[in-house]
Amino acid sequence: MRISAIIPAYNEKDNIEELTRRLYPILERCTEGFEIWYIYQGLDGGKEVIERLQDEMPNIKLKHFPEPLGAGGAFKEGFQLLSRNMDFVLTLDADLNHEPETLPLFISAAEKGSVVVGSRYMEGGSFDEMPLWKLKISCMANRLLSLLFKMDVHDMTSGYRLYDAEAIREIRDELQFKHFEFYPEALIRCYWHGYKIVEVPITYKKRMYGRSKLPFVKTGLGYLRLFFRLSSNTPLAPGRQ
């Protein structure tokens, strides 16, 4: 198995080195080959941290943008950079909300489905810490999205995923949304193309450094736009069984 990790990051200088030093040896141990693409946005010094890490870790690659692209915009950039020989695409947050140490669980689950989602809402999933109001809004949004698009997925908005690279190559030019609504959009488009989606439980860890980039009101409005734009194009059934 060869894995390309696509990691957008916006002003995450204080988290990048720890993430890399935790993720890199796991990929070395669990794969036959890998690359880590950082789509780094901002001018806080994080670009220079990655460049220093590249001197000792040859599989790290970097594309830098001074201004933010949005989560979806950054992933679209990263998906276009995917090397041809990669079998799977790993996505995870740069802020250490997602623990790299759980990656072997995703790899095992990839035998059962083409897209593996790290789920906070299935049995065994949890939050390390989150304000109650945020938890309720997030839970409600996920339930509504799965209901509206008729998908048996507990966590439509989780960014910790392992995709079959074929799925990414098939959907990457179809992706329309630039912000956090990208997460459910990518999953919906994989489902429409008939890729099987499975979930594994994860614990969503509290951010230690920096500030969250997720604006709840703006993101909620983005989910509404997603529904109205995609619902009119919903196929009668997935195309691949």
Exposure string of 162-201, with b = 16+ CB inside 10 Å and e = fewer, is bbbbebbbbbbeebebbbbbbbbbbbbbbbbbebbbbbbb
The pLDDT score that the predictor gives to residue 241 is 40
pLDDT at 3 over 50: yes
Tell which wins on pLDDT, 234 or 2.
2
CATH classification code of 2-231: 3.90.550.10
pLDDT tens digits, 30-45? 999 999 999 999 999 9
- Looking only at the bridges linking them, the beta strands covering 115-119 and 161-164 are antiparallel
| pTM score, whole prediction | 0.90
Instruction: Express each pLDDT in 209-228 by its tens digit.
Output: 666 655 556 666 777 777 77
Task: Pick 185 or 236 by higher pLDDT.
Answer: 185
pLDDT, tens only, 172-200:
999 999 988 999 999 999 999 999 999 99
pLDDT level of residue 236 (50, 70, 90 thresholds): very low
Among 62-66, 137-141, 145-149, whose mean pLDDT is lowest? 137-141
Residue environment code for 21-45, b if the CB has 16+ CB neighbours within 10 A, otherwise e:
eebbebbeeebeebbbbbbbbbebe
